[in-house]
Amino acid sequence: MTARSAAERLWARMGPLPDEGCWIWPGYKNSAGYGKIGVYGRNAEGAYLRTSTYVHRVSYEDKVGPIPEGLVIDHICRVRACVNPAHLEAVTQAENLLRAESSLPVLNAAKSQCPAGHEYTPENTYVGPNDTRFCRTCNREQKAARRALPPEQRAQPRGGRPRNGKWSLVADACTECSTTMVRHQAGGLCANCYARARRKAKSASA
């Protein structure tokens, strides 16, 4: 199975091409408007395979070159059925989403305020590892509000549910070392005593 066989069928189906503008794929298009073409061949073991691929990827690989690992093909013309290699560019998925006119990342990037109305200034904005923006003012206010709660309410995980089956919802003293706990481990032990008890039990069973 090779991209060349798909490319030969692609250009044969396209017919005469205009000197400029989009080259619209006349064949099958999926529900999103992207053209697809069947690919047939045999794998390394000789078994016959039949699948399909996007025509804009076939066009790019045939006329430009291999698509670099980790990149996707973006339509510069914004016409999804176009196979003109001059209208195609290899970009990251993040860049591809930002270029989309109505995608969620584009809409979020255009916002200048957080949901609470605080400005997304450089000083007030924390950018996470996945490029998500967080409001520092909201974060400070949430922490201050949580610190102002009584201990028994601070012990409640967000959402009012245990994070796992080992936490209870009671702030109490550890039955082993009497340390006051915000989150209560199973058996009335604090996190440290619970970990020591597990290590002791594991070594005893070894």
Cβ-based neighbours of 103, under 8 Å, separated by 6 or more: 97
Which structure tokens are listed for 141?
Answer: 């206010």
Residue 140 has pLDDT above 50, yes or no: yes
DSSP 19-88: SSS--B--S-B-TTS-BEEEEEEE-TT--EEEEEEEHHHHHHHHHT-PPPTT-EEEETT--TTB--GGGE
Give the residue, 92 or 158, on which the prediction is more confident: 92
Question: Which of 8, 16, 103, 1 lies closest to 55 in space, CA to CA?
Answer: 8
Element housing 9 (H / E): helix 3-14
Q: Which tens digit of pLDDT belongs to each residue from 40-88? A: 777 778 787 788 899 999 999 999 999 999 999 999 998 999 999 999 9
| Partners of residue 125 on adjacent β-strands | 135
Element housing 178 (H / E): none
Whether residues 161 and 176 share a domain: the answer is yes
pLDDT at 1: 43
16 HSE (CA, 13 A, CB side): 2
Q: Are the CB atoms for 73 and 89 separated by under 8 Å?
A: yes
Chain centroid offset of residue 65 CA: 27
Give the residue, 151 or 31, on which the prediction is more confident: 31
Which structure tokens are listed for 11?
Answer: 């250009």
Whether residues 59 and 117 share a domain: the answer is no
* Average model confidence (pLDDT) across the chain: 78
pLDDT at 132: 78
Whether residues 97 and 178 share a domain: the answer is no
Where in the sequence is the domain holding 177, given as residue range(s)?
Answer: 151-205
Whether residues 53 and 94 share a domain: the answer is yes
Amino acid at 188: G
Which structure tokens are listed for 142?
Answer: 């949430």
Last-in-domain residue among 53, 80, 106: 106
DSSP state of 79: -
Q: Which tens digit of pLDDT belongs to each residue from 12-43? A: 999 888 888 999 999 999 988 999 998 877 77
In total, how many domains does the chain have?
A: 3
Whether residues 67 and 138 share a domain: the answer is no
Whether residues 31 and 65 share a domain: the answer is yes
Q: Are the CB atoms for 174 and 181 separated by under 8 Å?
A: yes
